[in-house]
Amino acid sequence: MVRSAGLTVGDLIVEALGRFSDREAFVLGAQRVTYAQTADTISRFVRVLAERGIGPGSAVAALSPNMPEVWLLQAAAYLVGATYTGLHPLGSVSDHAYVCEDAGIGLLVVHPRFAETGVALVERCPGIGSLLSLGPSSVGEDLLTLAASSPGIRLSRGPAGEDETAWLQYTGGTTGKPKGVMVPSRALVAETYTLTCSWGLPERPRFLLTSPITHAGSLPILPTLCRGGTVVLQQSFDPAAWLDAVTRERINYAFVVPTMLYAMLDHASPGRCDLSSLETVLYGAAPMAPARIAEALEEFGPVLMQGYGQTECLGMCTSLRKDEHDPVGRSGLLASCGRAVAGARVEVLGEDGSVLPAGEVGEVCLRSPVVMAGYHGRSSETAAALAGGWLHTGDLGVRDSEGFLYLVDRKKDVIVSGAFNVYPREIEDVISGCRGVSAVAVIGVPDERWGEAVTAFVAARPGEVVDVEEVRKTVREVKGAHQVPKAVHVVTELPKTAAGKIDKKALRKPFWGEGGRQIH
């Protein structure tokens, strides 16, 4: 019996690039790259990597803002059988050094603006044998010049099998040191199918990517190319520039994190722009308050689609479809992250590992072909995360009678105040509906009487005032007296991680210190 087609990510890349040669594959400002040019450059990158001894067992990393050549390098790494790791442009030298050491990076490619960082990493990480730059630079060799002088070759799938680790992607490190998530080639293939089936991908996508191409926001790139679409890149997020790109490039598909939507709603008046080309705006990577989702629907129209997942399951394992975003007929669903995507089984499990009935809170666990093979070099943590054949997400959730999943909070993020468990996300959703609130984060801080005191940090909308007493009164009315924040701090802006998520770890630090409750 044939149990697997044996397809690898290399097969999909070669097939897509060979099918749509004259179409535009990538756009970055005035730079426009066809499928044929993309294939040719990848083939030259393959030769450059091979000449430097990069192949099966090797590890390649890139540190760069968004540009087509970054994904082309990633594709070339796959085709020579190497493992690829993206380094976040906003990360520190120490962060990058830890990842490079842990991943065993042998070849590092940096954008010229990160030349000094590249030199520092080579000095701190003896395993880095080659340093290349994406363009003329004072350090290393220029990959683009080397590629231009190398003859192109016919692309082939390469030597890697479907079970080999292709992408070694690191977690955000909000619960400790980042962990390397081993993503096998077969998972990237399965994710391409899942995204095409369940993520609202148009027939011929024009995909706008502003979040770092080195990370999970880049997952729609390969499915876009498999459909003959175009990837439009931006190197940083600006609300007005994002909306302008949608109009100018006739974007029909985009991925955003909630803080990006908040910025557009608060500063850019998206409803005044020509967004008629948009078919799907996928949002995720962090919770978004129902009140703000409803506001976004008014501005953008019925194009919003929510996804829930984590690095360990290669993107998103549930989705709330566009037609399920109904603030009038089914407003309660805006608090849900939807139901399982194609190919995934998502359940809420109890402490004993049994599937809980609707209405009971437990840990969200899943099985899917896109689940990681494990954590790189961390066998005990892998065993815990994949115990019983499930990926244990660490998120608490509850299902309704129709199977819609509602996230309650991070399992380790629950505030224990007095004798009660308090779920920060539930309070955040209530506060987000108060006048003048742009964004909110709720944490527990040490308290001699209560153990932990519920504390809210609220960012006000530009030019508006948040009434602290109204916030406290609203929470009391909706959630009860025991969940009312003992303190409400109104701030100009909430701290964010490099991925654009609200950084609760930074909010906790002044209260708990370095060795305290460092979670989420």
**All residues at 6 or more sequence positions from 279 whose CB lies less than 8 Å from its CB, including other chains:** 200, 202, 252, 253, 303
Cα–Cα distances (Å) from 432 to 246, 282, 355, 508, in that order, read 27, 21, 32, 20
Count the alpha carbons within 13 Å of 502 in the hemisphere toward its beta carbon. 24
Count the alpha carbons within 13 Å of 488 in the hemisphere toward its beta carbon. 24
Q: Output the CA torsion sign for 344, 350, 353, 356.
A: negative
Structure token pair of residue 273: 């722009």
> Tell me, what's the pLDDT at 243?
96
Round to whole Å and give the CA distance between 48 and 75: 13
Q: Output the CA torsion sign for 388, 391, 397, 401.
A: negative
What would the CATH number be for the domain defined by 30-184?
3.40.50.980
Question: What's the residue count for the chain?
Answer: 520
- For the entire predicted model, the pTM comes to 0.85
What CA dihedral angle connects 386, 378, 57 and 224, to 10 degrees? 50
Query: Of 238, 239, 340, 335, nearest to 288 (Cα)?
Result: 335
Give 143's strand partners. Answer: none
**Domain boundaries for CATH 3.40.50.12780 within the chain:** 237-410
**Domain boundaries for CATH 3.40.50.980 within the chain:** 30-184
DSSP string, 404-420: -EEEEEEGGG-EEETTE
> Tell me, what's the pLDDT at 505?
84
Structurally, what CATH architecture does the domain formed by 414-512 represent? 2-Layer Sandwich (3.30)
Give 422's strand partners. Answer: 415
Per-residue pLDDT tens, the chain, 520 aa: give them.
Answer: 345 678 999 999 999 999 998 999 999 999 999 999 999 999 999 999 999 999 999 999 999 999 999 999 999 999 999 999 999 998 889 999 999 999 999 999 999 999 999 999 999 999 999 999 999 999 999 999 999 999 988 999 999 999 999 999 998 765 568 899 999 999 999 999 999 999 999 999 999 999 999 888 899 999 999 999 999 999 999 999 999 999 999 999 999 988 899 899 988 788 889 999 999 999 987 778 888 899 999 999 999 999 999 999 987 899 999 999 999 889 889 999 999 999 999 999 999 999 999 999 999 999 999 999 999 999 999 999 999 999 999 888 999 999 999 988 777 777 877 656 788 888 998 999 999 999 999 998 888 777 788 999 999 999 999 999 999 999 999 888 888 999 999 999 999 887 778 888 889 889 876 544 433 3
What would the CATH number be for the domain defined by 237-410?
3.40.50.12780
> Tell me, what's the pLDDT at 173?
60
Round to whole Å and give the CA distance between 507 and 441: 9
Task: Specify the residue for token string 């709330």.
Answer: 320
CB 131 within 8 A of CB 110: yes
Round to whole Å and give the CA distance between 95 and 90: 10
> Tell me, what's the pLDDT at 283?
92
- Note the Cα 224 to chain centre separation in Å: 17
